[in-house]
Amino acid sequence: MDHKVTGAAGGPTAKTVLSMSTLLVVALGLSGCQNAGPGTALVGDGAQPEASTPATPPVSFTTSVRAGAKDVRPDAVVTVGAAGGELHAVQLRGGGKELRGKSVDGTWRLADVLAPGTPYQLTMTGTNEAGQETKKVISFSTLTPKVEATYRVTPDKETVGVGMPVMVTFDSAVKTPAMRAAVEKRLSIKTTPAQQGSWGWLSSNQVMWRPATYWKPNTKVAVNAPLKGVQTGEGKWVTENKGASFTIAPRARISTVDIGNHVMTVRENGKTVATYPVSNGRPEKNYPTRTGTKVITEKRAFMVMDAASLGVPEDDPNYYRTEVNWAMRVTNTGEFLHSAPWSVWAQGNKNVSHGCVNMGPSAAKKMFKASLVGDVVDFVNGSRKMKPGDGLSVWLFSFPEWKAKSAVSTALKPAATPTPGATPKPGTAPTKPRTATATATPTPGQAATTRPATPPARTSASASPTP
């Protein structure tokens, strides 16, 4: 029979203890396998723990202006881009307003022009590749000009004749062709009814816009000259924007002075309304009246013509100081149409003046009352030609020649020369007016404001009159 073996203390034997130990180890092993999940390394298997995923860096911004800059040029091209993400919004503020810009292919570009001497704040917003938003703000300032360039736009708030160009006149030269092109690009003209035209420069301080032919009667003209931030010379910048508006008279008044035959014919809308005998500049050096298409730029009911303004001393035999009535300026060199009772005997027969058109008192008064600044006076049949700069000389050129005076469209073309006798015909207003806008302004001799004639007031001539 079998015998139960017990230890000395009556407990289980060594074999029994071993069996229990074995079961415990197996149980622990099974427990460990059941708790091990994916990616979990067991002790002693040689595997390393996985590293955590790094954070996505924020989007960064690139700008063409340096943060904190104090001398940014007003004509600087301001751009904003983004790296490591997308650019969502850009805001540029300064001078009390938000400036316009446009985003193309992920880059924002300023569409406006910065103002000189102005602080700006640039705010940029974007997201990185993880969709996290970042916002950044920088500040900068534009340079303060050493000299402020000033200018005027004429005519303004007037009714003028069909020959009057738009004039943008600077108080000093616009120094370089590139600067003149920058000025011209900022200018625009809106006309109703629509008319083709062009800007042109006859001097470095004035740009003018004229239609292809004379203005159509009753045309409405609006001029926009937003030149703030445009450079005109070394350290010289425009600091303000300007504009003008005016109306063309309801009639096309065009006069023709036949110098050789001593007669002036006045037409309105192509119909002859008056014929006057006249006496023009006598056939001596410096006195012949110039031929060419001129424009009335100033009206004075009374003025004093003093040869001293031409540099003629009082003791010179050719010196004169003459009071005249009903004077209408047609050149910068001192040519006027005016009353000349002292030469009535010569009017219609002989040229005896110092260059002006002498008229009888009643004829001069009628002409003065019926004329406007901007009316055309065409001078023919003479020996001395008008030159650009002698007066408001935009009509000395054919339209193709005038377009060649633009600083923008024909910068690489050779300069044109005036076409003798190139006098365009006045246009006729269409039945249904349209509106046109011409992008791309007036010539030597700025037009004075025309007011109804008043009783003669004694004033002196401002520039070179010749009776």
Neighbours of 320 (CB within 10 A): 16
Has 338 been annotated as catalytic?
yes
Q: Is 2 exposed, middle or buried (0-12, 13-18, 19+ CB in 10 A)?
A: exposed
Distance CA 123, CA 138 (A): 7
Give CA–CA dist 214/205, Å, rounded: 24
Residue 58 tokens, joined? 């924020």
Across the beta sheet with 376-380, the strand order is 271-277, 263-268, 253-258, 376-380, 290-295, 384-385
Distance (Å, rounded) from C-alpha 405 to C-alpha 336? 28
**Rounded to the nearest 5°, which phi and psi values hold at 2?**
-80, 150
Catalytic residue among 88, 262, 354, 356: 356
Calculate the dihedral angle through the C-alpha atoms of 358, 359, 365, 366, rounding to the nearest 10 degrees.
Answer: -130
Q: What's the rounded Cα separation, in Å, for the pair 149 and 127?
A: 43
Note whether 160 and 447 are within 8 A (CB).
yes
Residues contacting 289, CB < 8 A, separation 6+:
257, 259, 280, 281, 335, 351, 353, 355, 356, 357, 379, 382, 384
DSSP, res 424 = P
Catalytic hit among 3, 33, 88, 338: 338
* Tokens 């503020």 found at: 93
Beta-carbon contacts of residue 417 (< 8 Å; ≥ 6 apart) = 401
Structure tokens at 354: 């110092």
Q: Is the dihedral of CA 307, 313, 314, 315 positive or negative?
A: negative
Backbone angles phi, psi at 364, to 5 degrees: -65, -40
- Active-site positions read 338, 356
